[in-house]
Amino acid sequence: MTGPRNFPVGKTDEEWQNSLDADAYRVLRKHGTERAGTHPLNHEKRDGTYHCAGCGKPLYDSTTKYESGSGWPSFYKPMDSAVGTSSDRTLGMTRTEVHCADCGGHLGHVFPDGPQPTGLRYCMNGAALKFEPKK
């Protein structure tokens, strides 16, 4: 995060390291990005819910997932109050970072080139998500 923030789910860096696998830790806590097209959730087609891999908060319903061609799981709308955003000025450009509203974990970025009805593309790292199929 860009500064100290309080989130409902708070852990020390050591606690995050102990509770996440290496890829999830690198993405969620260190603002990493996985290589495009490498995560299995990019190809997930079942009905269900995508949760934060850090704290388990429900983030996206599968009905809002679509194939963006970007190589990352993409959604046009998060669940209500599921995510927050902040300005990301890394890589010499300004982007809108998306983070989990409960733990502050970095999920990915949102871009204004998605489908209707929102016109937004929430481009998420699969390592930051856990999928729960509908029963």
**Nearest in space to 90 (alpha carbons), one of 19, 51, 32:** 32
Q: Are 123 and 74 in contact (CB under 8 A)?
A: yes
Q: Which two tokens stand for residue 1?
A: 């995060």
**Nearest in space to 63 (alpha carbons), one of 2, 4, 11, 115:** 115
55 assigned to active site: no
Pairing of strands 106-111, 95-100: antiparallel
Please count the residues of the chain. Answer: 135
* Residue among 52, 55, 103, 123 flagged as catalytic: 123
Residues marked active site are found at: 123
